[in-house]
A and B are shown apart, each in its own frame.
Chain A
Amino acid sequence: MEIPFNVTARPDTGLYNAKVGVWLFLASEVMLFGGLFSGYLFMRLGAEPGYWPHGLLNVPVGTMNTFILIGSSVTVVLAWAALKMRQFTQYRIFMLITILCGITFLVVKLAYEYPQKFEHFGAFIKKDALPKYEKYLGNEYLAGKGLPERVEITGHLHNREALNDSNVKEYEVALDPINAEPTDPASDRPHFWPKPATEKMVTIEKEDVQYASVFAPRHSSYFAIYFTITGLHGLHVLGGVIVFIYYLLPVSTALYRQNPEHLANRVEVAGLFWHFVDLVWIFVFPLFYLL
Chain B
Amino acid sequence: MEESHEPHAHHDHGKHLKLYLGIGGALFACTAITVWLSYVDFGSSRANFIVAMIVATIKAGLVGAIFMHLLSERWTIYRVLLLTGFFVLGLFLLTLLAFHNPISL
A42: B residues at CB distance < 8 A: 95, 98
Among the stretches A59-67, A106-114, A115-123, the one at the interface with B is: A59-67
* A23 is an interface residue with CB less than 8 A from chain B: yes
- Cβ of A189 and Cβ of B41 under 8 Å apart? yes
- Cβ of B3 and Cβ of A86 under 8 Å apart? yes
Q: Give CA–CA (A259, B1) in the complex, Å.
A: 7
- Cβ of A63 and Cβ of B76 under 8 Å apart? no
B16: A residues at CB distance < 8 A: 81
Within 8 A of A (CB), among B49-105: 49, 52-53, 55-56, 59-60, 63-64, 67-68, 74-77, 80-81, 83-84, 87-88, 91-92, 94-96, 98-99
- Pick from A19, A23, A192, A279: contact of B60, CB below 8 A: A279
- Known A15-B76, A84-B13, A285-B34: A74·B88 in contact at CB below 8 Å: no
Mask, A29-70, CB within 8 Å of B = 1, is 011001101110110011000000000000100010011001
- Cβ of A279 and Cβ of B64 under 8 Å apart? yes
Q: Give CA–CA (A276, B81) in the complex, Å.
A: 13
- Known A27-B81, A85-B10, A290-B34: A282·B63 in contact at CB below 8 Å: yes
- Cβ of B35 and Cβ of A290 under 8 Å apart? yes
- Cβ of A23 and Cβ of B64 under 8 Å apart? no
Interface residues of B, dominant DSSP? helix
A14: B residues at CB distance < 8 A: 74-76
Q: Give CA–CA (A275, B68) in the complex, Å.
A: 7
- Pick from B10, B27, B94: contact of A70, CB below 8 A: B27
Q: How many residues of B contact A (CB 8 A)?
A: 54
- Pick from B39, B55, B74: contact of A15, CB below 8 A: B74
* A249 is an interface residue with CB less than 8 A from chain B: no
Within 8 A of B (CB), among A72-86: 73-74, 77-78, 81, 84-86
- Known A31-B84, A42-B95, A78-B20: A73·B67 in contact at CB below 8 Å: yes
- Cβ of A30 and Cβ of B84 under 8 Å apart? yes
A34: B residues at CB distance < 8 A: 88, 91-92
Q: Give CA–CA (A290, B52) in the complex, Å.
A: 9
B52: A residues at CB distance < 8 A: 286, 290-291
Q: Give CA–CA (A31, B89) in the complex, Å.
A: 10
- Pick from A23, A285, A286: contact of B77, CB below 8 A: A23
- Cβ of B24 and Cβ of A71 under 8 Å apart? yes
B76: A residues at CB distance < 8 A: 13-15, 20
Q: Give CA–CA (A81, B10) in the complex, Å.
A: 9
Q: Give CA–CA (A81, B27) in the complex, Å.
A: 19
Given contacts A63-B35, A70-B28, A275-B68, 17 further A-B contacts (CB under 8 A): A14-B74, A27-B81, A27-B83, A30-B84, A31-B91, A34-B91, A41-B95, A70-B24, A78-B20, A84-B10, A85-B9, A260-B1, A275-B67, A278-B67, A286-B34, A286-B55, A291-B52
17 CB contacts below 8 A, A to B, read A31-B87, A31-B88, A34-B88, A37-B92, A73-B63, A74-B67, A77-B20, A77-B67, A78-B20, A84-B6, A84-B10, A84-B13, A260-B5, A271-B67, A282-B56, A283-B56, A285-B34
